[in-house]
Amino acid sequence: MGRRAKNKQGDPTPLDVNGKPFRKLGKRKAEAGDDSLSKRPVKKLKETEGKTDKVKNKEKELKPKKVTLVKEKTPSAKSKPSSASAKVKSSSTKGKRKQELESDEDEGVEDGGTSEGWEDVEEDIEVQKKSLFHDSDDDANGFIGDLDDLDIDEIIDDDDVLRGPVQELDLGSDDEDEVDLAPVRLIGKKSKQLERPSKIIPTGSDESDSDASDEEDEEERVTMANMEARSRALDEKAAREAELDLEEMQKAALAGEEEDEDFEDEEGEEGEGEGAGPFQLPTAEEREEEKAAGGPQVHVVQRRMRECVRVLSNLKRYAGKGRSRSEYVQQLISDIANYYGYNDFLAEKLFLLFPVSEAIEFFEANEVPRPVTIRTNTLRTRRRDLAQALINRGVNLEPIGKWTNIGLQVFESNVPIGATPEYLAGHYMLQAASSFLPVIALSPQPGERVLDMASAPGGKTTHMSALMQNTGVVFANDANKARTKSLTANVHRLGCKNVVVCSYDGREFPKVMGGFDRVLLDAPCSGTGVISKDASVKTNKSDRDFALLSHLQKQLILCAIDSVAPDSKTGGYLVYSTCSVTVDENEAVVDYALRKRPNVKLVETGLEFGVPGYTKYRGKTFNPSVSMTRRFYPHVHNMDGFYVAKFKVERRSKVKPKEEKFNVNGEAMNVDGEQEASGFNSDEDRIYIQESKRKAMKAKGLRVAPRNKLAPPVSTAVKAAA
């Protein structure tokens, strides 16, 4: 493989001069995603002849080498990227880079943090944990928290969502931050998005690296001093390569046309070639034959996907006679599932999120790893010092983008990035760029009391701790006890002294404790935003999984809201996030929370980029304010797929439910303190209230006290009352 095809990944979305992000596009972008189809590795397709050189070359050549950056999509521009795309150099000049590296001086911890004393943290945490929680585990009959805090109306109202098992879900999967301590050997130039995953982070044994690494090994080591020259050289090289790419793409396009003509001649389909009028879908018999032959051939499915995209762009003009849109859509989804290796259900679910050609880009982007990024731990160092230390070790890196002053993107490294002395000393966290976002949105302040409801392995917890400058307290909770080990390890390594680790089901909050200034719910999710990291998602998720997950997320979000102190002087915020792109797990959950908790409202996330959340989706209409939430996509932002919503929690309405008002005689009163005119049997109602409290507690998985022996069971009481 030629050097240009190797190990290239794009920068995370850079920003334009106005601070707005650009979107990177390859040539194919301007052509309704067509080209992208030619270069994909095939998972399930029949590999009849393997890849001929011609096909291989075509795949390589059609990769979008020329980095053209286009302003980020707005919803209205979603399917049609601006044609007036601005070409922007992908690498920075020294001035810019230096400026960015220096910018964190302002916000960095001046003393650069210290490693002294952090060995004691484990002990401290253990002591705090014991004093805070040891009772609740052993208390066989004990309620957790105070029953009187429960809002009966809401409990009953929420009952529908509070029922049902969730334990079948595998909730242990994680999107980031699990550090692979094996040497990460990143060789080659800056990687671009949409290259093959296997080449993005090649191992030392990867022979195909040789031509690139030979040449680059001779290059001088990157230092702060030679950064500018190197950066310029890289830019020039990128420009040269871009020219070559253009040439290659043109050649490839020509070759492709010839190939298709050959194919059409063979098949006797003259007049129905790509771009040449109507495209006929395969008949049922042809599909059966295809199946019997072990699936379609690679070039057939590629071509068919291109054709379907073309037809769907102008159905009237290109559809075969009597064929409907849905037939082309179904064929395309089936081919996508085959080609990229998804189950049909998920292929369809993800396909429907986007306009047709954008969907192909999304699937393409899932085949490519995202850039390797690290977060500077400002409790221990400053970004410029960290950059210098890593540069001295032969790591090629640069700031992620203007939106963060603590992130660095690693392009190449001769040392294992997960085991450098700086890593071990807690100077940085290996962390996906997307996972910075919810913490930036939450913006925890020094001295606050913060809850990270689902926190393991602690990427966001440790980020929050650093933003709070090791003051206040972060309760880092995770239901999975095993995962709290890596959480605790990270907390120690990064020197976070304001973190208390605990392990409860998030649905037990706020009964465990409440009154937080800010809460982060980085919810357990399907991981459809991180398919490039975990391809198993492509096949192991079903309709039922999404239903169960969404159910759990709804339960968790209500508990997260109720854990926020509405009267917090400095905060009163909740951030909900997932590393999933499905509407069920995002907008639908947020909309549910808005409906169930009238005391919360959405506010702007404060993030400078991202696509607004859906307010309408496939027949569902959400609260218009859901447009304030933000979606992030691999194909748009070159980040993991992610979702962030920020809520402000306000005081609940003072009007209490009637049944909670009793006079001194235990007689029910109306809101004005007058006795209810209608007859009211408070004893009878108390039984109902007690029973519904029990039911809600049980459904929440909380321990319930034995029924009051004096109180008859509801059925008996009802009979007696009748």
Ligand X SMILES: C[S@@+](CC[C@H](N)C(=O)[O-])C[C@H]1O[C@@H](n2cnc3c(N)ncnc32)[C@H](O)[C@@H]1O
Task: List the one residue from 93, 128, 469, 480 that touches ligand X (CB under 6 A).
Answer: 480
DSSP structure string for 235-286: HHHHHHHHHHHHHHHHHHHHHHHHHHHHHHHHHT-TT-STTSS-BPPPPHHH
Q: Does 196 bind ligand X (CB under 6 A)?
A: no
Q: Decide if 525 is catalytic.
A: no
- Let me know the angle formed at the C-alpha of 319 by 314 and 323, rounded to the nearest 5 degrees: 130
The half-sphere exposure of 532 on its side-chain side, counting CA atoms within 13 A, is 32
Task: List the one residue from 34, 100, 158, 177 that touches ligand X (CB under 6 A).
Answer: 177
Tokens 């999975």, residue?
480
Write down the catalytic residue from 502, 525, 559, 579: 579
First-to-last alpha carbon distance for the chain, in angstroms, is 84
Classify residue 623 by its DSSP letter: -
Binding segment for ligand X (CB under 6 A), chosen from 36-44, 474-482, 639-647, 690-698, is: 474-482
Nearer to ligand X among residue 188 and residue 457 (C-beta): 457
The helix/strand/coil state of 662 is: strand
Q: Does 524 bind ligand X (CB under 6 A)?
A: yes
Task: List the one residue from 349, 460, 497, 533 that touches ligand X (CB under 6 A).
Answer: 460
Q: Does 175 bind ligand X (CB under 6 A)?
A: yes
- Give the Cα separation of 123 and 501 in Å (integer): 12
Binding segment for ligand X (CB under 6 A), chosen from 80-88, 252-260, 472-480, 713-721, is: 472-480
Residue among 470, 416, 427 nearest 446 (CA): 470
Q: Kindly identify the residues of this chain, within the stretch 433-452, that bind ligand X according to CB under 6 A.
A: 435
- Give the Cα separation of 394 and 694 in Å (integer): 62
Nearer to ligand X among residue 249 and residue 644 (C-beta): 644
Task: List the one residue from 478, 517, 584, 591 that touches ligand X (CB under 6 A).
Answer: 478
Q: Does 522 bind ligand X (CB under 6 A)?
A: yes
The helix/strand/coil state of 290 is: helix
The helix/strand/coil state of 38 is: helix
Are the CB atoms for 427 and 380 separated by under 8 Å?
Answer: yes
Report the sign of the C-alpha dihedral through residues 345, 350, 353, 355, in that order: negative
* Residue 308 φ then ψ, to 5°: -65, -40
Q: Does 492 bind ligand X (CB under 6 A)?
A: no
Binding segment for ligand X (CB under 6 A), chosen from 98-106, 157-165, 243-251, 473-481, is: 473-481
Task: List the one residue from 319, 372, 456, 500 that touches ligand X (CB under 6 A).
Answer: 456
Task: List the one residue from 172, 394, 446, 598 that touches ligand X (CB under 6 A).
Answer: 172
Per the annotation, binding residues are: 454-460, 478, 505, 522
Per the annotation, binding residues for S-adenosyl-L-methionine are: 454-460, 478, 505, 522
Q: Does 457 bind ligand X (CB under 6 A)?
A: yes
Q: Does 483 bind ligand X (CB under 6 A)?
A: yes
Pairing state between β 518-522 and 573-578: parallel
Structure tokens at 405: 């002053």
Binding segment for ligand X (CB under 6 A), chosen from 173-181, 321-329, 534-542, 673-681, is: 173-181
Nearer to ligand X among residue 122 and residue 534 (C-beta): 534
Nearer to ligand X among residue 62 and residue 512 (C-beta): 512
Label residue 477 exposed, middle or buried (CB < 10 Å: 0-12, 13-18, 19+): buried
Binding segment for ligand X (CB under 6 A), chosen from 101-109, 148-156, 170-178, 391-399, is: 170-178
Bridge partners of 87, per DSSP, are 68
By CB under 6 A, name the binding residues for ligand X. Answer: 171-172, 174-175, 177, 435, 453-460, 478-480, 483, 505-507, 522, 524
**Catalytic residue positions, numbered:** 579
